[in-house]
Amino acid sequence: MAELLPLGTQIAGDSPPDVFVGRHGYPHVSAGPLVPAKGDLSFNSADWARMDVGDIVSLRSSMVRSGTSIDVKDARNPGTILGKAQEIAMSSAPVGTEVTFLKPPRGQVRFDGYLMPSGPTGSVKKLDITTNPSIPRKVDAVVDDSDMKATLAVGELYDSGVDVDGISRLLSLGLLGKKRKMVPTRWSITATDDTTGKSLIPHVLDMPSVNEYILFSGERLGNHFEILLMPGVYSYELVEIWLPRSIWSGEETWIGADREGPGGKKGYSNLSGGYYAARLALLEHLTFIRRQASALLVREISEKYWAPLGVWVVREAARAALANSPQKFESREEALAEMRTRIRTPICEWRAQSELVGGSRQTTLASFF
């Protein structure tokens, strides 16, 4: 990992754009933009996903996290610093930013299972924007509409082409909804994945089912996906396999699973944010092909994924797998046999966690036609 030169009390650079809202001390939280101490880090999630884990950690360690203590309800009437941070959050392109700190930023690279890594942290004394933020018209209109519910705002922004990273920033800085308040970044990420996914489900349920077994495969950053689409009404199941020496598993393999039917998910997933990130990638693909399916996603995480980079990795790895050319089979067992050739964990170990393919399937009305 590249070491940073000692930092002074002033840093100027292009925020990717990137902002951070902490959760400690809620409802009084630390919030502010992230600014690179060196270089240009204006990459989107798809760009980051094509890099190596070490390269991402090295580059992100130069991101200085600025912050000042703010009450989450101040989003409705922001002061100078929060107001400028909100402008950065609204931008679709890097924003020239100059931050003056009370003291030189200090600290090591920070890791989190939800957030991208970041480097030193400093308390903001003054924040200036040195270039004009590039704010899409739709973003400007939705942010200006204080009578629109947050869930509807998220759906409209997503439908207009605003990416989930951008929507998450807006939600986090308290720019969406009627009763506006800031949302800690780690919460806003999953809320965005969940809300955008839910907005797609009704459309998918109106589409015809796939009529064969379609298998996708792909990998990003040590996260391997096998995605099997099967005939039937929409349902989604994610099986996660953490191999030994991957970041959370230690020396043992850990396997977990969670699922939902056409009625959606009840309660919060035991697989945390990755469940919603992978589901969004699936629903995007089903919407694109105009089909519904009973979908099994198997995510196997290897020792190549040695540092937590955030739930965006799950979304991008699943998207990458679904962008590859699929294989097609006449039966479920043929598809599962093919999956066995690429999943390192014996099928008897992970299949037992699945309700979709764990045993004999319930006869459906469609099977008689």
Report the distance separating Cα 124 and Cα 82, nearest Å.
11
**2-5 long-range contacts, CB within 8 A, separation 24+:** 2/58, 2/61, 2/62, 4/37, 4/38, 4/61, 4/62, 4/119, 4/120, 5/37, 5/38
Name the strands in the sheet holding 121-129, side by side, starting at the edge strand that comes first in the sequence.
Answer: 10-15, 95-101, 121-129, 63-71, 28-36, 19-21
For the chain, 369 residues long, give each residue's pLDDT as a single digit of tens.
445 557 899 999 999 999 999 999 999 999 999 999 887 788 888 899 999 999 999 999 999 999 999 999 999 999 999 999 999 999 999 999 999 999 999 988 888 888 999 999 999 999 999 999 999 999 999 999 999 999 999 999 999 999 999 999 999 999 999 999 999 999 999 999 999 999 999 999 999 999 999 999 999 999 999 999 999 999 999 999 999 988 877 789 999 999 999 998 989 999 999 999 999 999 999 999 999 999 999 999 999 999 999 999 999 999 999 999 999 999 999 999 999 999 999 999 999 999 999 854 443 433 322
Domain spans of the chain, in order of start: 10-194, 213-368
Residue 296: burial class (beta carbons within 10 Å; 0-12, 13-18, 19+): buried
φ, ψ dihedrals at 116, nearest 5°: -70, 150
213-368 CATH choice from 1.10.10, 3.10.450, 3.30.230, 1.10.3470:
3.30.230
Q: Is the peptide bond before 27 cis (omega within 30 degrees of 0)?
A: yes
Cα–Cα dist 122/102, whole Å = 7
pLDDT tens-digit profile of 40-80? 788 888 899 999 999 999 999 999 999 999 999 999 999 99
